[in-house]
Structure 1
């Protein structure tokens, strides 16, 4: 079995990624967000979009325990409340909940106290507010430093909920600026909207754990807005899941594939944790073991 990784603005418009190609993110456009995305996998030996040799290793994984990374950057098409954007796993069909799963969920909640889930529903999900779930969040001004309304003419002219397979990359660069292959967590950049908004010393040296605790309250998240006038970068990574084998080591070790009944592992960012009517998708990434 070989690992295939696909991504796009929705689960119905995915494209196979060239994993570990940090210099060439896929570009996508959803109803909520225009952005770019890269996935990294330690020891990747899976499927590539054009059958070329996979990129197996990256310096990115040196001296860290993480086994995969999802990195996204882009701009929102309208302001979005910090309490209305969630990231996590979702499934289209019921899953077999393994014995000892509660141990794993307790560990997950120790890492991210805001995580919540409905794993026994017809369409199970495990979600957390983006402000708490992401390991890294940063933000900066777009190239033109103009408002979203002024920038509308420079936005990539591709249809909503599509992947930019033919759009000139320079169009995305003019709208978002150059792709940043490595980003750092920066709470000060996240919170400020103007240079004079907040004193830098208040937040410059706060950790991701501090950010998670800060935004644990729904009231605090409601007071934060993702602006359409900023470029945001997000990264999620973890040491527990080896997608090359679909083995999860989180307190207990087990084969995830046996419990998913043939489903992929999908990470989704959307405006409602349970999805469904009224929920807008920002992006989706799927990990799937397939026959070679």
Structure 2
């Protein structure tokens, strides 16, 4: 599922972690988050406010509570935060492509328009299902009442009312095709990330078993070569932080997880159920011969 063997050499990137997989049930792109979670409070350095402003500049959809006194976190929608994102629609019975590829991951969302469900289909949470649409229509009992009222009701369901429903259907179809056309126009990383800063546009995209997603999270401004041996952050303008000086040794955990709804129960974390996790830890002397970091996967909804 993950590949850490190849590292890009452009844009100052010194590390790369790729992940590929599918969701075994449907999820709105707005409900799949990616970022960092921690088990205990962080010792934040001087200048943290500048770091947070930089993070929000790089990723406007980012939300965080890094100053939490319990479990700090910083999460953003996967589709808008990933440096490189590739989507492929897989047909039933089609073999999955080999992973990892011999080449570095190339941004490719040319088939993402296929992940926009057709109008009227059963979609992810928050969208109207056909059943809800049927419930909003008058029942046969309502439309066959006695007396003069029945005639007026029948007239209200004559071609003029049908035309209204047809107009609504046409409007939904037009919106659906408009969304697909917008997605087809996305060609670069910057275009994709800017487009999906909108929650409404993220909710229009649904990932399911037919959607193969490959991501590569690699950042030139973050490295693991600080003098302290821990993470090192380089910001524009010459501002840099040796984060290892403030690092208490807890794993740097990259998590892909489900968005936690307001009022939802669970284990108490501010994030939802994790789909997969890659943890980077400081190696002990006896671990120097081992490669890569630890990874955890919740496989109930992933392939």
TM-score by length of 2: 0.62
Shift of 1:107: 1.5
Q: Is the 8 A contact 1:135 1:208 kept in 2?
A: yes
Q: 5+ residue gaps in structure 2?
A: 119-175, 262-267, 286-303
1:116-127 superposed matches below 5 A: 116-121=63-68, 122-127=70-75
Task: Confirm or deny that 1:248 pairs with 2:168.
Answer: no
Shift of 1:278: 8.0
- The SS at the match of 1:108 is helix
Deviation per residue, 1:118-168 (Å, 9 max, x gap): 0111100011110111011112233xx21xxxx6xxxxxxxxxxxxxxxxx
Shift of 1:287: 1.3
- 1:23 is matched with none
Task: Confirm or deny that 1:38 pairs with 2:3.
Answer: yes
The structure with the largest alpha-carbon Rg is 2
Task: Confirm or deny that 1:230 pairs with 2:211.
Answer: yes
Structure number having the greater helix percentage: 2
- 1:267 is matched with 254
How many residues in Structure 1 have an aligned counterpart in Structure 2?
210
Q: Is the 8 A contact 1:74 1:176 kept in 2?
A: no
Following the alignment from structure 1 to structure 2, what is the Cα–Cα distance between the partners of residues 39 and 71? Answer: 7
Q: Is the 8 A contact 2:29 2:203 kept in 1?
A: yes
> Mean Cα displacement is larger for which, 257-266 or 68-77?
257-266
Shift of 1:225: 0.8
Change in Cα spacing, 1:191 to 1:137, as seen in structure 2 (3 Å) is farther
Q: Is the 8 A contact 2:82 2:217 kept in 1?
A: yes
Shift of 1:204: 5.1
Deviation per residue, 1:65-106 (Å, 9 max, x gap): 112212111111101111111111110000011110111121
Shift of 1:214: 1.0
Following the alignment from structure 1 to structure 2, what is the Cα–Cα distance between the partners of residues 81 and 211? Answer: 16
Q: 5+ residue gaps in structure 1?
A: 1-35, 41-57, 152-173
Q: Is the 8 A contact 2:115 2:206 kept in 1?
A: no
Say which of 187, 192, 213 aligns to 2:109: 187
- 1:208 is matched with 189
- 1:112 is matched with 59
- 2:199 is matched with 218
Task: Confirm or deny that 1:73 pairs with 2:41.
Answer: no
Change in Cα spacing, 1:202 to 1:241, as seen in structure 2 (3 Å) is closer
Structure number having the greater strand percentage: 1
Q: Is the 8 A contact 2:115 2:207 kept in 1?
A: no
Deviation per residue, 1:35-92 (Å, 9 max, x gap): x11125xxxxxxxxxxxxxxxxx5x433331122121111111011111111111100
Shift of 1:200: 7.5
Q: CA RMSD in A?
A: 2.8
- The SS at the match of 2:21 is strand
Q: Is the 8 A contact 2:29 2:206 kept in 1?
A: yes
- The SS at the match of 1:254 is strand
Deviation per residue, 1:175-216 (Å, 9 max, x gap): 63321423221222223249x996789635521111112111
- The SS at the match of 1:187 is coil
Change in Cα spacing, 1:273 to 1:110, as seen in structure 2 (3 Å) is farther
- 2:283 is matched with 290
TM-score by length of 1: 0.64
Following the alignment from structure 1 to structure 2, what is the Cα–Cα distance between the partners of residues 97 and 136? Answer: 28
Change in Cα spacing, 1:267 to 1:257, as seen in structure 2 (3 Å) is same
